[in-house]
């Protein structure tokens, strides 16, 4: 008999059960409504829950054999997760007979600047066996890509250090999976990697310095293929390790994969991945206009006085003093990106900051933990939100369409997944005119990499995305500089 502690946003419960059953089955039998569109067959990877100390797991293929603590998504979060499936394609699995292992496995990896996500796939059945997420350990060398590139430039062994630390972190997850599934590293025969252009250079050990220097030309943007024995990864020596293609130095494979996995539901739409490097695209029919803005690490929590990543202990939503939610329902330790957007919107709504961003005195969130928002924090958010919003404005200008012509705005990535859209509009991060057409789509980069791993047919979608894309370098445009200056102030919208 094992004990499962189940934590929801509004209560906590205890389940006592025998081993041998899937976590999905256990939770459903106890009345918890877990979304599993494939019926719990391990095909879709949507029935994800969070287990303390282990991270995200697919509940239908997870069989608990010891006491665990399960954190279920809140009602609003669950609705977001369900709605994501409406917008992302799920390509049918296409089995290859050219295996080099009797128990072949593959992994799709999204290497973000802040977070790394791994999807493990059985290459015989097409079942997603596990999903793992972790913070990118390269963060100790800098919160954003420029900081990490600078480290490579300033230290002779910098590139090797940055490559080794991410390879070690991925190998750790590969090794854990091998132990749990009773396989060997040689059973991993295909690895697909998405990420921004800098992250792909670093994982392959390719010098990224030219990415940060005008005219911003990376060593590669095309798809790269390596053998497993040349990557340092604990996989079959003959395994294929593929990094997906990029569009430019600052519009990477994460955007290409995300755009390629979006269902063709709308003619004109915006695609936005808000992070340290705000990558975005505006799709007008078959044409794709792309750009990237240097939003900085504010929305990842890195440049804030009490900022932190979206991990246990982070204040993720805020509705007033002492009215907030903390990831993991633990004591608050700091503020993550979605939390700071809510807080700034609250300050604006209650006239505690004015249109210029002036904050008379630091705003205390939790006196016991000394968590507060300072004037400098507000300035960081102003810079970041202006960069994102101004990039959107320039894309609309370049494409020749207005907000009224845009059918949808898709928010990709972890930050886009959990951000309060109303708060984002109130602080001027997202266009007010699109308030009823904004939809989160989750980790579209990781799902795109997974589709590439599942079927060669997805490569055609990638090729089409690249063919139709046009990159706009904002640093060369006076229009962007003007927009950036004009959009620094806050505009108080009534929602």
Question: CA 108, CA 178: separation in Å to the nearest integer?
Answer: 15
Name residue, tokens 């946003």: 9
Does residue 480 carry a pLDDT above 70? yes
- Comparing CA positions, the residue from 495, 306, 470, 299 lying closest to residue 387 is 299
Name residue, tokens 């072949």: 104
pLDDT by residue (tens digit) across 308-317? 877 778 888 8
Output the pTM of the full model.
0.86
pLDDT by residue (tens digit) across 269-309? 999 998 777 899 999 999 999 999 987 778 877 778 888 87
pLDDT of residue 268: 97
Question: CA 303, CA 307: separation in Å to the nearest integer?
Answer: 7
Residue 45: which residues within 8 A CB-CB, separation 6 or more? 58, 119, 128, 131, 450
**Cβ atoms of 277 and 113 closer than 8 Å:** yes
22 strand-pairing partners: none
pLDDT of residue 416: 78
Give me the chain's average pLDDT, please.
Answer: 90
Sorted by where each starts, the structural domains of the chain and their CATH numbers stand as 2-84 (3.10.20.740), 105-254 (3.30.420.480)
Question: CA 449, CA 298: separation in Å to the nearest integer?
Answer: 27
pLDDT of residue 74: 63
pLDDT by residue (tens digit) across 71-108? 876 655 555 455 556 788 888 998 877 899 999 999 99
Phi-psi region of 394 (alpha: psi -120 to 50; beta: other; left: phi over 0): alpha
Question: CA 358, CA 348: separation in Å to the nearest integer?
Answer: 10
Q: Which residues of 25-64 are buried (b: 16+ CB within 10 A; e: fewer)?
A: bbbbeeebebbbeeebebbbbbbbbbbeeebbbbbbbbeb
pLDDT by residue (tens digit) across 92-102? 998 877 899 99
Does residue 470 carry a pLDDT above 70? yes
Question: CA 306, CA 374: separation in Å to the nearest integer?
Answer: 9
Does residue 323 carry a pLDDT above 70? yes
pLDDT of residue 55: 72
Does residue 330 carry a pLDDT above 80? no
| Phi, psi torsion values for 318, nearest 5 degrees | -145, 135
Burial class (CB in 10 A: 0-12, 13-18, 19+), 181: middle
Confidence of residue 189 (pLDDT cuts 50, 70, 90): very high
pLDDT of residue 444: 92
pLDDT by residue (tens digit) across 333-363? 899 888 999 999 999 999 999 999 999 999 9
**Cβ atoms of 347 and 360 closer than 8 Å:** no
């Amino acid at each position: 008999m094992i004990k499962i502690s189940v934590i929801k946003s509004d209560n906590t419960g205890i389940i006592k059960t025998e081993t041998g059953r899937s976590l999905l089955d256990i939770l459903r039998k106890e009345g918890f409504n877990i979304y599993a569109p494939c019926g719990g067959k391990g095909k879709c990877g949507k029935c994800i829950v969070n287990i303390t100390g282990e991270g995200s797991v697919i509940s239908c293929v997870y069989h608990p054999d010891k006491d665990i603590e399960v954190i279920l998504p809140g009602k609003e979060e669950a609705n977001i997760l369900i709605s994501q499936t409406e917008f992302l394609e799920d390509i049918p699995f296409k089995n290859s007979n050219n295996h080099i292992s009797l128990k072949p496995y593959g992994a799709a990896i999204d290497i973000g600047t802040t977070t790394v996500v791994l999807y493990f796939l059985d290459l015989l059945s097409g079942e997603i066996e596990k999903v793992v997420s972790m913070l990118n350990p390269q963060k100790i060398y800098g919160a954003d890509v420029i900081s990490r590139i600078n480290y490579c430039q300033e230290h002779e062994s910098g590139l090797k250090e940055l490559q080794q630390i991410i390879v070690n972190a991925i190998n750790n997850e590969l090794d854990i999976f091998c132990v749990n599934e009773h396989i060997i590293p040689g059973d991993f025969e295909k690895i697909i990697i998405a990420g921004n252009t800098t992250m792909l250079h670093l994982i392959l050990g390719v010098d990224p310095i030219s990415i940060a220097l005008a005219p911003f030309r990376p060593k590669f943007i095309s798809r790269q293929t390596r053998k497993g024995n040349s990557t340092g990864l604990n996989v079959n020596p003959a395994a294929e390790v593929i990094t997906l293609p990029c569009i430019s130095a600052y519009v990477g494979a994460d955007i290409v994969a995300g755009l390629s996995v979006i269902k063709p539901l709308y003619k004109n739409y915006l695609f936005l991945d808000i992070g340290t490097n705000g990558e975005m695209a505006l799709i007008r029919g078959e044409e794709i206009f792309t750009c990237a803005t240097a939003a900085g690490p504010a929305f990842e929590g890195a440049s804030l006085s009490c900022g932190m990543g979206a991990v246990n202990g982070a204040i993720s939503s805020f509705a007033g003093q002492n009215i907030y939610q903390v990831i993991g329902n633990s004591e608050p330790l700091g503020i993550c990106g979605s939390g700071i957007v809510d807080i700034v919107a609250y300050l604006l709504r209650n006239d505690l900051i004015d249109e210029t961003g002036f904050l008379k005195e630091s705003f205390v969130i939790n006196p016991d933990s000394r968590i507060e928002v300072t004037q400098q924090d507000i300035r960081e958010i102003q810079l970041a939100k202006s960069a994102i919003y101004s990039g959107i404005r320039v894309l609309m200008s370049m494409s020749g369409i207005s907000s009224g012509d845009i059918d949808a705005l898709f928010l990709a990535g972890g930050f886009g997944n959990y951000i309060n859209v109303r708060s984002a509009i109130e602080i001027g991060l997202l266009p007010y005119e699109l308030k009823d057409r904004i939809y989160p789509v989750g980790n579209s980069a990781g799902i795109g990499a997974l589709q590439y791993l599942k079927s060669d047919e997805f490569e055609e979608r990638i090729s089409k995305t690249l063919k139709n894309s046009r990159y706009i370098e904002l640093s060369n445009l006076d229009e962007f500089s003007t927009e950036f200056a004009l959009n620094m102030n806050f505009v108080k919208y009534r929602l």
